[in-house]
A and B are shown apart, each in its own frame.
Chain A
Amino acid sequence: MEDLFIWLISFFILIALIVLIVYQLMCLADLEFDYINPYDSSSRINKVVLPEFILQGFLCFLYLSSGHWVMSLLCAPYLYYNVRLYTRKQHLVDVTEIFNLLHREKKQRLFKLAYLVVLLFFAVFWMIWSAIEDADD
């Protein structure tokens, strides 16, 4: 039962992360097609970058503390990447160079998105699995 609860939480966290990433991607796409100016775009993106990082860190920690170390391991590369960006102070988009970096920023977020979707798939799988097991008991 406890397991199912943890999978449920991680499911919602993952959904939230995907929403944050999609939001950032939308801001970048809007910028590319000139619907918003770089100032708004970068301030909107920068507002959600830290929440995303923290949420992801929390997810990783949640898996670890609940004993799902395989999932935790799967989250680790993402976490490592985020930490690296943060320590190099590259996590925020730079309004002055945003157009030159647009391509890279988009690609980076698309990778993150794909990664999260895979994680989500695992989480859903385990959630159903533990639900069935619970029912069996």
Chain B
Amino acid sequence: MGSAAAGRIWKGTQKASEHPLLDTPVAICSYISENTAPRLPALAVAAGSHVYIYRNLRPYYKFVLPAENVNTEEQEIWQKVMEGEMVMGDAVAQLTRLQDAGVVLQTRSLQLMNIGDPEAKMAFVEHWQGQPLVATTVITCMDTIKQAIDEPDAVSCLVIGTESGRVLILNPAGTAPVKNIWVGITPAMIAIQGELDVGYRITVAGRDGKLYHIRNGELQQTIIQLEAQPVGLVRLVKHVAVGCMNDVIHAYQPNGTKSWSIYLPCHILAMQRMEVTGQRMTKALLVALSNGEVRVYNEKLLVSVHTVNFPVTALWFGRYGREDNTLLTITKTGMLDIKMLPRTANLEIGALGGGPPPEQEIPLAVPKKTRLYVEQTQREREQAADMHRTFQRDLAKLRLTTARAFVKVLTDGQGAAAFTTSTNLSLSLSVAGLGPRFRLTLLLRNEGARPLLDVPVALRADPSLYALAKAQFTIPLLVPGLQYTYEVAVTAVSPEAGSDAVTVLLLAPAGSHSSAPLLQATLKMPISEPEDL
């Protein structure tokens, strides 16, 4: 389908014909619609609220979705407004009341309610004057169902899901619905099993992330709640496989019990049924993944993997030309890839083998215990008491050393980061630049529970070496838990004279009874580049 809403037919690599469409297509199906020979397939293209049916490359019939029921009260309101029996304000109020009561209003009513200007409201009503309020809906998905017998060239019917939450089954000619099933939620994908006259099941993946089942025209009570939004729905022989956004494919039996799950390494891009005809009649599952892999699963057994270089957007498996089993792959780049299944292909045995992963066979590289280790253990066993005593003595000494160093950190502020215990402040300094102009960055954090107000900051450096842009400033507020960044420009006055340290002092706020600084940190400045270099 082209982006300019046109259907293009290709024969080989040549474009055979092009059919302009009125609307962006949402689904396309080919099916046999007549029982007369030769059985030429018809092409159904769903766009907007119509299904266009083509035969022999010519438009043949247009099916229009039947209008939905409109709430009678809403219809009356519109009638009255158009005939001038009701003032605009009342009409809007009535519509609002209806909406509050839970009635799903039509687009026209919602548009009217959204218009603010009274004149524009009148003009809007005038625009629709004389046209009755109808509920239109659009098609969201489409598939086919065989009518009586399950054969490749048997007559089938179209099955359509609509935005209004219905599933319609049309007659083979596509002129009128033969079944109209109310699901209640917009179907996003449908999967069909069985024949219309014999017995069938339709599985509907709704927009709400649930699976609904329709059996012979009746909506079943079993509703399957998925753990993530579905991205693909495929009917298999006994199961319905649903791929979800959390990279899992679940397979459900018709009665709603889950049979198996496949956990995939990355996102699912597309899923499709693979119905192999020929000697082996296999129904397998095709999955395109975001890492470029296209996998084939027979039940839950992975039977084949191949890689496509670009993300796959769509897959189709079926008859192409004279070849029965062909896989068409469309990538996001617009590439169409055609692969044919070899007649000797075996889809019964796993490609990547089941069973334990190969890593299980490789022993872990555990280094051997050396003789040295044994000797040392021996020594440990013999002199355990001595070793313990020495260790405890050393530990006590180390604790003392550490505690001293820690106290020094708390009191002296010799390093570029400092903390206090009393006010729970932390300050860390860093310097950027090559010189002679540096930027000193102060990172301040109040880790206490109470905010601090008006904290004076003083910077100290050798004036013969460094010129500070500001030697002191006041921080108005330090809220707990936030990181504050302050920058001070520092200029090296004479780069040749060497480097020194800059000390930053956080003083106690005014009014406190102590004059000792809260915090002090020192940063050793790097050697400055000369000015003229």
B is bound to A: no
Q: Which residues of B contact A (CB under 8 A)?
A: none
Q: Which residues of A contact B (CB under 8 A)?
A: none
